[in-house]
Amino acid sequence: YSQQLNQTIGGGMSITSTGTGIMARIGLQYDDFDVENPIGSTFNSGNGFPFLDLTGQTIRLDFLANDRDLATRIELAGSGVSAYNWVIAGNQDVPFTVDIPVSLFTGNVNLAHVDLVTVYFDTRPAGDFALGSLQAVPEPTTFVVIACAAGLMFAGRKRFIK
């Protein structure tokens, strides 16, 4: 059976580097019961979700703040591996959301059966950020299709009742 990805990070996940020459790589990982070998890493068995169905989904990161540009990478693993890299702009001291549709990921993972989600954050020297939650939500086009289908069902029901 499939699970949903919706993780709240209690109090925010804060990463701070205090020196001007210090950079850090931080990884968050959501694992199932198997062993995978994502790009550049080997992770042991987890005791988390059975698998995720990320078909038509968007990965949403809710930040509390980010003071410097933050290089970010999300890896999805299962029968294959897919990844997406981008930079989150700094100088954001109010909460903000970043949405990444899984359709932008490159690779060959089966999105209907994702066993491992890993998010890497590479801070710039003296970079600080706080992450409040990570979740998978339907892509906007999925919302449109659902709304259209509901509208057609309602219209058909109205016509049938008359």
Pairwise pLDDT comparison (66 vs 39), residue with the higher score: 66
Q: How far is CA 146 from the centre of its chain?
A: 22
- pLDDT at site 142: 46
44 or 10, which is more confident = 10
Residue 87's CB is within 10 A of a number of other CB atoms, namely: 11
pLDDT at residue 39 tops 50: no
Torsion on CA atoms 66, 68, 69, 74, rounded to nearest 10: -40
Question: Considering only 9-13, 112-116, 135-139, which range has the smallest mean pLDDT?
Answer: 9-13
What are residue 151's phi and psi, to 5 degrees? -65, -45
> Is residue 60 over pLDDT 70?
yes
Conformational region of residue 64, where left means phi above 0, alpha means psi within -120 to 50, and beta covers everything else? alpha
Residue 122 to residues 5, 16, 28, 103, 152, Cα–Cα distance (Å): 22, 11, 12, 23, 46
The CA distance from 134 to 149, in Å, is 28
At 108 the pLDDT is 93
How many CB atoms neighbour CB 141 within 10 A?
12
